[in-house]
Amino acid sequence: MKKLLLGMMGLLVFTMIGCGGNTTAFSFDASRNITVYTRDTTSGTRDAFFTGIDFSDAITSNGVLVANYVEVDGNGSMITSVKNDIYGIGYISLASLETSGLKGLVFDGVAATEANVLNGTYTLKRPFNYMTRAHWSGMERERQIVEAFVAFMTTIEGIATIQNKAGIISVEANTPSWDDIKSLYPVCLEDNSDVTIYFGGSTSVESVAKALSQEFSQKCGNFIAEHNHTGSGDAYKRTQGSEADGGNKLHIGFASRDFKSSESGDEGTSGFICFDAVVLVVNQANTAIDSITKSEAKKVYSGDKTLWSSLNP
Amino acid sequence: MIVKIDPEANRRTQKSKRFIWMKHSDRFMKGLLMVPTLMSASFVIFIVGFISRKGIAPFLPSVYGSERVNAFSFLSGTTWFVPPNVYGILFIVINTLYIVALSTLISVPLSVASALFVTRILPKKLQGVFKSIIELLAAIPSVIYGVFGLGIIAKSVVRLAELFHAQTAGGISTLTTIIVLAIMIYPTITMMSVAAISAVDPALEHHSLALGATKVQTMTKVTLASAKPGIFTGIILGVGRALGEATAVSMVAGNAGSGPSLMLFSTTRTLTSTMLLGLKETSGMDYDIRFSVGLVLIGVIFVSNFILAHFKKKVGRFS
Amino acid sequence: MSLVGVMVLALIMGFIINRGVGLLTWDLLIGDYHPTTYNLSLPTTESLGGFARPNDLDESAFFSQMWGLGLMDDVDFEGKAVVRVIYVDAQSPLQMMRDKNNLERVVGLFPGLALEKVIFSDLTIGLSRTKAENFIILFDTHEGINDLLAVSSGNGIRGAIITTGLLIGFALMIALPIGIFSAVYLHEFAPKNNAFIHTMRKMIDTLSGVPSIVYGLMGAAVFIPFTSRISKAEGGNLFSGALTLAVMVLPIIISATIDALRAVPDDYRKASLALGANHTQTTFRIVIKSAVPGIMSAVLLSVGRMIGESAALIYAVGTAIKDHIILTEKSASLAVFIWSVMAGEVPNFELACSVAIIIMAVVLFINVLIKLVARRFTLLP
């Protein structure tokens, strides 16, 4: 029994060591395994990513992925996980790259920048879309507020906020200002502080959506914006699909991909917000690669290549 | 006819009326108070009943029809979820038992040693202080243990992994879960052991010392032996707590997708982390299946309690 | 080696105090979680230009001579980059901006705010993303502001504190009567050595071994539909949470009350009965009164258990962090707040640890109270 106790003491000593210093950077050892991170199957980012690297089987199935993949359930969790694991690789929304503290990889020779998305050379591009409810029985005020919100997203103020959160969109010459069109939405002159609007859907769109709702709430009677982002799959499901009338219902949902044919909403209930892209990321301490090709990415995620050193720099 | 007017009769009737009223009010109160008691007692049935109702739903053809989950593959599966309707729980049960067993193995020696220390070696004045510390540890909410696990234990495990040239997902691993659970059940087992050891008849120890045994021998062979049943109760409580612990575990486990995770540095998935993480829906099969997992959890706790209680009886027999 | 307990406690407390104390301000306790937005405009100005940079302005700050404005790149609570307003000259036209939603109201830009975006009168857009220096350049070359958006910091936990208080209050209101009366029945009125009574006691005992997440499942399966049907709630709400907590602490209250009743000397009861009182009067007027300290510790123990509860509430109420608490809507309690902050987008250790300090302080306080009550309790004759 004494030996067991000594062993436990040893473990505790290690704990003390751990608490003593902060995580000092270890030197990157390229002979290690690649820890593959992926989003869950309802994620629009996952959809866009696997489509973009020609690995469509992996969009809905985890079985074809490398054996020891780690699944995370949101854009933010992906960032945190790869930040904590120097041997990790993952994929995130381009909009969150600059604030993530991670290294974005050059994909097929093209750097992941807004300019390259706009000129079409960066291929992992995808849209941010929205979808609202089709049936608003008993929710007339909410319907009007959401209608105003959708219009707000197309004004200069809205576009500026979207751009500020790194959504990719340009201001056209005749884009109206909110001040120009707000008379069309009288609901915004009322006091809406007892109205809660439910936002949800993609986690990649979450920071854009939150910034927009926060700003617009002030402009439209101070309604309460409640956000519950759980993945692009819920954008249609919770506004017009199977959960549209349950405890999880949303008034407006966001998706980081196009809506599928099984998700066709009613006429006029969905639309485009801005462009975004998916970017492969690794930890800043990763010295093995700065760029990756489509086929290499597929090999990493399918398990054909498992060591950092096996990747062509 | 002469009607006798008895002045006392009135008073007697009043008195006996009051007496009857008092007796009746007693019976009435008894009946009235039975109501909340019955309510309290029946909650257990409610819990199991309603959870079963939702938990069995995924397997019934009447609810989900052709989309239903196959019960057999559920109970023997090694991958949690393959869309659209295949779920597997066996590997999760193995993981859970594995993790709880290891945490108990770490925690019990430490707890018993601490209990011995507190009751037999420490001077009386400090005993109170130590007991308060242990009570405080027991009162810390699990979410704080989770934050602590993520902040310190996970980081230490990363360093530990470096020493062994192993890889971890940022410290989120089986080992971290085991350590956090061991810390959480340590106060429970210690407190019960302290109570058990304090209840040991000092005469026994005096007899042992008088016969020439050393203090250490007395402590281990005599004191512990008679405190065994109490210590075992502590272990049962600790195991129960570890099996049911949800918040802290889900913060450090990682929720691995498949296969029993026996390697210490790989991520893992327990019954409770399955219930708490990835919770997106509040209706539909993905939601109901968590109730099925809950049922399995209740089953596992029940069976383990039963087995451990059986051991306790056996152990008690020889002391 | 048995200092293990002490070491672990010291480690835990040290960790959360270290990380959390930085954020622990009065503002944290009474502030909103969601930040306050300022939406301002300033159509035309005459008094532009000629502002001198103050000597004590930070080296790394950028100054606009046209507007008398000092901006600096900074990080917010979550470590995200913001452009912070650090100086606004007293004569600056920015002191006299108008609230766009209430053009009568004059609001001045003030230091501490994070500047998000500015749309100038010629529709040029300035974004905080492009950093402070660019902002200042834009300010120096433009004269009118159509729309300015600035944000004050949020991350206050007032909502969580109120939620926790409401949940505990309602749960006690439900659980105390049921628990105390059950205990009174079981100890005072029930026939002893009755198999049925024995089974009931066993079933109540089993209740205390149920893990919190199972309570959560029950809350979600039973109380959410129940409260949805009798109120305008849809989905998780504070009532379903209070009901779930009530069932959770019921065994604690019952067993502590039974202990308290057991400690009341039988002489009291016999004396009361001898004096002519019936069973009911004896129990309610004499025995329960003497057991009050024990019942108080029951209450304290329950509060201690409820304040840290997270798993059950995640299922039975939900995890949305709110500032404006409505009983029929979901809201996060203190423990669920920590969970939400850690399991969400970017784990915010500092904020989580600050809230942890508060919870621990309350737990410590309750533990001390329990000891005091116990001491007074045993001094009763």
Residue A22 — very low, low, confident or very high, per pLDDT cuts 50/70/90? very low
Interface check for C5 against chain B (CB to CB < 8 A): the answer is yes
What is the mean pLDDT of the segment spanning B304-315?
83
Question: B279 and chain C: CB distance < 8 Å anywhere?
Answer: yes
Where are the strands (E) in chain B, listed by range? 81-82, 86-87
Residues of A with Cβ-Cβ distance to B162 under 8 angstroms: 26
Using DSSP bridges, classify how beta strands B81-82 and B86-87 pair: parallel, antiparallel or unpaired. Answer: antiparallel
The predicted structure's pLDDT at residue A245: 83
Interface check B29 vs C, CB under 8 A: yes
pLDDT value, residue A3: 43
Q: Quick one: how far is CA A5 from the chain centroid?
A: 47
Intervals of chain C under pLDDT 50 = 381
User: Sorting pLDDT into bands at 50, 70 and 90, what band is B239?
Assistant: very high
Task: Please report residues of A whose CB lies closer than 8 A to that of B258.
Answer: 62
Query: B183 falls in which pLDDT band (50, 70, 90)?
Result: very high
CA atoms of C155 and A52, how far apart (whole Å):
38
The angle subtended at Cα B59 by Cα B56 and Cα B61, nearest 5°, is 115
Minimal-distance CA residue of chain B relative to A59: B83
Please compute the mean of the pLDDT values over residues B59-82 and round it to a whole number.
Answer: 75
Give the minimum alpha-carbon distance from B294 to chain C in angstroms, rounded to a whole number: 7
Q: Which of B277, B258, B254 is nearest to B172 (CA)?
A: B254
Among A18-22, A235-239, C264-268, the range scoring the smallest mean pLDDT is A18-22
- Give the percent of chain A with pLDDT over 90: 26
Angle between helices B7-56 and C195-207 (to 10 degrees): 50
Q: Which two tokens stand for residue B200?
A: 């040991």
Indicate yes or no: CB of A18 within 8 angstroms of CB of B157.
yes
How close is the nearest chain C Cα to the Cα of B237, in Å? 8
Of C182, C212, C360, the CB nearest to B40: C182
Interval A261-289 mean pLDDT: 89
Residue A157 and residue C147: Cβ atoms within 8 Å?
yes
Distance from C-alpha of B23 to C-alpha of C304, rounded to nearest angstrom: 40
pLDDT (tens digit per residue) in A123-180: 888 899 999 999 898 889 999 999 999 999 999 999 999 998 888 888 888 888 888 8
Domains recognised in chain A with CATH numbers: 3-125+278-310 (3.40.190.10), 127-276 (no CATH)
Residues of B within 8 A of A39 (CB-CB) are: none
d(CA C51, CA C47): 10
Q: Do B139 and C363 touch (CB under 8 A)?
A: yes
Gyration radius of chain C's alpha carbons = 29
User: Model-level pTM?
Assistant: 0.81
CB distance from A17 to chain C under 8 Å?
A: no
* Smallest CA–CA distance from B148 into chain A, residue: A19
Task: Give the nearest partner residue to A243 out of B109, B167, B283, using CB atoms.
Answer: B283
- Interval B275-285 mean pLDDT: 71
Q: What's the pLDDT tens digit per position in B115-138?
A: 888 887 778 888 888 888 888 888
Which residues touch C310 (CB under 8 Å, ≥6 apart)? B141, B142, B143, B247, C212, C333, C335, C336, C338, C339
B272 touches chain C (CB under 8 A): yes
CA count, 13 A, side-chain hemisphere, A59: 16
H or E segment to which residue A272 belongs: strand A270-282
Residue A106: which pLDDT band, with cuts at 50, 70 and 90? very high
Q: Assign B53 a pLDDT band (cuts: 50, 70, 90).
A: confident
Residue of A2, A6, A15, A81 to mutate for B, most B C-beta atoms under 10 A: A15
Query: Which residue on chain C is closest to A210 by alpha carbon?
Result: C34
**What's residue B278's pLDDT?**
66
The distance of B114 to chain C (nearest Cα, Å) reads 4
By the 8 A CB rule, do A295 and A275 touch? no
Identity of the residue in B106, B169, B278 whose CB atom sits nearest the CB atom of A73: B278
Specify the range with the lowest mean pLDDT, choosing from A54-68, B61-75, B192-206.
B61-75
